[in-house]
Structure formats: structure tokens, C-alpha cells
């Protein structure tokens, strides 16, 4: 991602000891992390990890039960944050009886002084959506396009997207990803994008937040997180893990036949005849998803800076 979008020192999201409780228990527990402004951040985690919960707290739709989450330095959902944040929820609520044109008009009326009509209309036009079609008659992917147009038209400083591309065909998905990247680069918009499509995140996201079991597992610049790990392959015939790994943090290690493949965080040179290489983002994420007990890692920029108290 281009450095032009990096806004030194500014914070888009900051959680300090954040806990969120649903009826059945805590969805998020003691989460502390920071996402700097101007980043395109992938929000990844297994089903039920708490991604939607986190985004709904950031959007001001749900309250924290413990600790705090600040959005652009303010309380989520407050008068200062609300106009600057757009949220596209998984179910993309739209009015089915409104036409596409009515929906964009509503966006304009709800966002006086901010609405970018050209950007919203361009997105709708690119999908060949008839302006007079009722939203309820559109396909799932077409409704997603309208919902994205509403979110883009708001010209948010922070765009929260909860698996926005899941019902788009591959070509449209590609086109929408490109539109997101252009948006981020042109307007220094911070994007937090929850997604299960790991391959789609590579080359698009420059920041990562991996949550699992309601806790933060990885947070920071994709580049730094990747370079903190090594993918190790080699022959291993003895039972148990190789002795050479003892001084390193082993995230995951698997042996098929005599071939061992491991993802480690090296604490120094690795002894022995191993082939080592840099993991891809997908390698990194898959290994951490398969190893839920691996120790967490936050890069310095992902450490919270405040004590967690924010004004509305």
C-alpha cells in the first residue's frame, strides 16, 4: 500500500481492555490494540471470533461492557464520530421499497455537506443498475453495490466493512476491491475490512488485526508481522519437535511423513539444515488460525497509546 495514505501519529481505532458481552457470554475479552489512521486493515478471525461484534461497537451500534474503544479519538456513535464513520454491516440493511435513486437521495439528505454524489452515482452506474429499480428487486450482489455506494458517498474518514464482498461475483469483487483501494489512496480513508477470503487480502491490506476466542492474536503492519515469522521446511524423523526449535517461538508445526513444515518466530539464527522462507500473508494467517494457542504478537504501532478514556 502506498505510504501517501499513512497519517503519522493519528489513530483510527484504539481499544484498551475492551470487553463486549452478549447474552451467552463475552464475545470480546480484554482486547487492547491500535489501528493507525490511513491504513487498510484486514480484520480476520474464525467464525464467532468477535469481528462483527467489534465493528458494531466501533460503529456505535453496541456498547462495550468493559474497557473502551475509541474511534478517530472519540467515543463510537457520538456526535463527533458518527458523521466521519461509515459502516457496512453483513446484512446490508437497505429499504426494499426505495428505488436506487431514492436510496442515494436519502444518503445525500442524511449527510449534508459531506455527500459525494459523483462517487456514489459512479459506483451505481458501473454496475448498470437502473436508477428506478426498487432495491428489493435487486440481486444480493447488486444490493451490495448500492450499500457500498451509500458508504462511499458519505466520504468517511473510517470505513468499516463486514465481509462486504461475500456475495459478489469474482469480476465485481475485483472491481470493488480496486475501488476501495482508490478510495483509500485518494482520500486517506482508513478501511477496516472483515473477511474470510485470505487470498483477497494479500496486496490490498497493509495492516492486520487477527482475533480469536475474543482476544487479539496479531496486530500491526502486515510487512512487519510477516518479517517476524519464518516458514521452515525440512526432514525430521525423531518424535517430538526438533531440538533446534526450542529457543524460538513455534506458532505451528506439522509433519507429513518425514517432512516437517513449521511457522516460527525466530529469536536468533536457526540451527540445522532447514529451508527457510518468508511466509505469505495467507501462510501466516492459516498457521495462526490452526494454532489458537500461539502467543499473541503486536507490533509497536499496534500498542495502545492512551489510557482508554475518550470524549464523545
Ligand X SMILES: Nc1ncnc2c1ncn2[C@@H]1O[C@H](COP(=O)(O)OP(=O)(O)OP(=O)(O)O)[C@@H](O)[C@H]1O
Establish if 23 lies at the interface with ligand X (CB under 6 A): yes
Establish if 292 lies at the interface with ligand X (CB under 6 A): no
C-alpha cell at 175: 472491481
Binding ligand X by CB under 6 A: which of 29, 34, 39, 51? 51
Cα 49 to its chain centre, rounded Å, is 13
- Binding window for ligand X (CB under 6 A); candidates: 6-14, 47-55, 101-109, 285-293: 47-55
Binding ligand X by CB under 6 A: which of 36, 38, 50, 60? 50
Do the Cβ atoms of 27 and 21 come closer than 8 Å?
yes
Closest CB to ligand X among residues 47, 128? 47
- Binding window for ligand X (CB under 6 A); candidates: 45-53, 131-139, 151-159, 216-224: 45-53
Q: How many residues bind ligand X (CB under 6 A)?
A: 12
Question: Considering only residues 245-284, where is the footprint of ligand X by CB under 6 A?
Answer: none
Do the Cβ atoms of 309 and 68 come closer than 8 Å?
yes
| Beta carbon of residue 109, minimum distance to ligand X (angstroms, whole number) | 30
109-111-113-119 Cα dihedral, nearest 10 degrees: -100
- Taking each continuous run of H as one helix and of E as one strand, the counts in the chain are 8, 14
Establish if 156 lies at the interface with ligand X (CB under 6 A): no
Q: How many CA atoms lie within 13 A of 161 on its CB side?
A: 29
Establish if 67 lies at the interface with ligand X (CB under 6 A): no
* Overall residue count recorded for the chain in this entry: 312
Binding ligand X by CB under 6 A: which of 52, 103, 111, 253? 52
Establish if 47 lies at the interface with ligand X (CB under 6 A): yes
Which residue, among 196, 192, 218, has the nearest Cα to 291 in the 3D structure? 218
Q: Lay out the sheet containing 11-22: strands in order across.
A: 25-36, 11-22, 66-71
Establish if 299 lies at the interface with ligand X (CB under 6 A): no
Binding ligand X by CB under 6 A: which of 5, 11, 53, 142? 53
Closest CB to ligand X among residues 45, 153? 45
The 3-state DSSP composition of the chain as helix, strand, coil percent (nearest 5) reads 30, 30, 40
Supply the DSSP symbol for 274.
Answer: -
| Beta carbon of residue 67, minimum distance to ligand X (angstroms, whole number) | 16
Core vs surface per residue 180-204: b (16+ CB within 10 A) or e? bbebbeebbbbbbbbbeebebbeeb
- Binding window for ligand X (CB under 6 A); candidates: 50-58, 101-109, 152-160, 221-229: 50-58
Closest CB to ligand X among residues 119, 201? 201
Establish if 27 lies at the interface with ligand X (CB under 6 A): yes
| Residues at the site binding ligand X, with contacts judged by CB under 6 A | 22-24, 27, 45, 47-53
Amino acid at each position: 500500500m502506498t505510504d501517501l495514505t499513512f497519517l503519522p501519529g493519528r489513530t483510527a481505532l484504539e481499544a484498551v481492555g475492551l470487553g463486549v458481552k452478549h447474552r451467552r457470554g463475552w464475545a470480546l475479552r480484554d482486547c487492547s490494540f491500535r489501528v493507525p489512521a490511513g491504513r487498510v486493515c484486514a480484520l480476520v478471525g474464525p467464525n464467532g471470533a468477535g469481528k462483527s461484534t467489534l465493528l458494531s461497537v466501533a460503529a456505535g451500534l453496541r456498547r462495550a461492557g468493559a474497557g473502551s474503544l475509541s474511534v478517530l479519538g472519540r467515543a463510537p456513535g457520538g456526535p463527533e464520530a458518527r458523521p466521519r464513520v461509515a459502516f457496512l454491516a453483513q446484512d446490508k440493511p437497505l429499504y426494499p421499497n426505495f428505488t436506487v435513486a431514492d436510496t442515494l437521495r436519502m444518503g445525500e439528505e442524511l449527510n449534508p455537506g459531506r455527500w459525494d454524489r459523483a462517487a456514489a452515482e459512479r459506483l451505481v452506474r458501473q454496475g448498470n443498475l437502473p436508477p428506478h429499480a426498487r432495491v428489493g428487486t435487486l440481486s444480493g450482489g447488486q444490493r451490495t453495490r448500492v450499500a457500498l455506494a451509500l458508504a462511499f458517498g458519505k466520504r468517511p474518514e473510517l470505513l468499516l466493512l463486514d465481509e462486504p464482498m461475500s456475495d459478489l461475483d469474482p469480476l465485481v469483487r475485483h472491481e470493488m476491491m480496486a475501488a476501495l483501494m482508490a478510495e483509500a489512496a485518494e482520500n486517506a480513508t482508513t478501511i477496516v475490512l472483515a473477511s474470510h477470503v485470505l487470498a483477497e487480502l494479500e496486496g490490498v491490506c497493509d495492516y492486520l488485526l487477527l482475533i480469536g476466542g475474543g482476544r487479539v492474536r496479531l496486530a500491526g503492519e502486515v510487512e512487519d508481522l510477516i518479517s517476524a515469522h519464518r516458514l521452515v521446511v525440512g526432514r525430521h524423523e525423531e518424535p517430538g519437535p526438533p531440538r533446534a526449535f526450542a529457543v524460538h517461538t513455534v506458532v505451528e508445526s506439522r509433519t507429513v511423513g518425514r517432512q516437517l513444515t513449521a511457522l516460527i518466530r525466530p529469536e536468533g539464527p536457526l540451527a540445522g539444515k532447514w529451508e527457510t522462507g518468508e511466509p505469505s500473508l495467507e501462510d501466516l494467517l492459516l498457521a495462526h488460525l490452526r494454532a489458537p494457542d500461539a502467543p499473541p504478537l503486536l507490533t509497536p504501532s499496534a500498542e495502545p497509546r492512551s489510557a482508554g478514556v475518550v470524549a464523545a
